[in-house]
């Protein structure tokens, strides 16, 4: 919603005569009942569970920190 407001303000300021209300192609493409039926499961995110993502990020940041330490020590 903040991005939509920013986009709207930029369009109004840069392109005079901008739309009064921004519209979403996704919302225009589907009927309102589709969004009401959709359930968001916070434990399952795009085929991965939160625990798997957490472990991946831990490994990633550990590798980044090791890389930084190696650069500082050996140049």
DSSP string covering 27-57: HHHS-HHHHHH----TTEETTEEHHHHHHHH
pTM summary value = 0.36
Instruction: Give tens-digit pLDDT for 22-51.
Output: 667 767 677 777 767 777 666 666 666 667
Say how far apart CA 62 and CA 75 lie, in whole Å.
19
Say how far apart CA 14 and CA 20 lie, in whole Å.
14
Higher pLDDT among residues 43 and 4, named by residue? 4
Say how far apart CA 49 and CA 35 lie, in whole Å.
23
């Amino acid at each position: 919603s903040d991005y939509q407001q920013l986009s709207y303000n930029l369009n109004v300021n840069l392109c005079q005569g901008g739309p009064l209300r921004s519209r979403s192609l996704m919302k225009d493409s589907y009927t309102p009942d589709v969004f009401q039926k959709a359930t968001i499961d916070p434990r399952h995110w795009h085929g991965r569970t939160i625990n798997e993502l957490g472990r991946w990020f831990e490994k990633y940041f550990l590798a980044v920190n090791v890389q930084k330490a190696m650069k500082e020590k050996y140049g």
